[in-house]
Amino acid sequence: MSKKKIALLILVTALISSALTIMGLMKIMGLDGEKTTDLLRFFGVKRMIETRYVTDVDSSSLMDGAIDGMVKSLGDPHSIYMKSSMYKSLKEHTAGAFGGIGVTMGFKDDKVTIMSVLEDTPGERAGLKVGDEILAVDGTPVSEYQPEEVALHIRGEAGTEVKLMIHRTGEEDKEYSLQRDMIKVRSARGKMLDDSNMGYIRIASFGENTGEEFKEEYNRLKEAGMAGLIVDLRQNPGGLITSCVEVADMLVPKGNIVSVVQRDGSQESYDSSLEESTPPIVVLIDGNSASASEILAGALQDRDAATIVGMKSYGKGSVQVVVPLFHDDGLKLTIAKYYTPGGRCIDGIGIEPDIIVNLTAEDTEDKQLNMAREVLQQKMQ
């Protein structure tokens, strides 16, 4: 066989081997014909921009934009791509200390609404109120962001300034200038209610330390003679499901707390190991009680371990995972829905209280807390 034929045979063999390797990789990656075409289309556009766009472009910025666009195309307000600064802010927030203004937000009906204002924070000092709608951050309308991006743009280094355009019912829209501060959040605080043996614990959110903080408050109140407990979950936007389960393990009788179901039907159940009895419990919720706070309220309600008082909750029954990527960035993605012990998925529905008590800005006293005390007194008899 001539050298030319041998060289041609080697070339053909190499091409066939390369083709088989590529086909094998495509199969492993789950790429069928249409997906392969999409992938080629993507890389084709990327290469066209890199080589033909009128000015030089940064390849990493193109990839950031592509990932961001993919996530936005889901139409899910809770899924978000986070560049490094935003990813850092999210990690600091769940750790319990972060630079911000001290408000939590809800995202519903294409609006960004303040759900709670923490005490002694820039938000409280500036006069922001629950129910205020945020229209713009530093001059950029919130409609240009994914809903959960808004909170990450409001957070930032302590000492820096952020401007919010606020709409408040019955008033003209107003811009507020706030100086960010280091927000140190103790998410669970308790006390004995005046002239009673009733304990009261307010859970503001579910961060990394909430389970331990709740345990400290709960044990302290038991030592003080607590005979009944009010758990206040109003204006609690949720947080980490693991922290919620830690709290539930102290309140929900042994058995199921919540089940998380993914798209393929696979299910992960979180159960309580609590065998000892608890004091009678009443739980307060409102329209701003969301996510992990609804998990706790739903578990206590379905397991007949507490009476729920207040207003119907927010209705966020989805579960997100935060995944670190490769450039100090991250992806927050909805991966499952959760179900209460009774098999309820409350996403978009919310939890109905056992006793409904409406509360308005015009009320001069906390009617919901007063009702919780009345109900708890009856349960303690």
Catalytic residue numbers read 291, 302, 316
Any residues with CB less than 8 A from the CB of 51 and at least 6 apart, and which? none
Selection from 283, 209, 295, 296 nearest residue 250 by Cα? 296
CA distances (Å), origin 29, targets 23, 32, 39, 67, 335: 10, 9, 12, 18, 20
Distance separating alpha carbons of residues 102 and 183, to the nearest angstrom: 6
Distance separating alpha carbons of residues 96 and 80, to the nearest angstrom: 21
Selection from 235, 231, 206 nearest residue 217 by Cα? 231
Helix and strand numbers (H, E) in the chain are 10, 19
DSSP 126: H
- Cβ-based neighbour number of residue 125 at 10 Å: 14
Residue 344 near residue 338, CB atoms below 8 Å = no
- Cβ-based neighbour number of residue 363 at 10 Å: 10
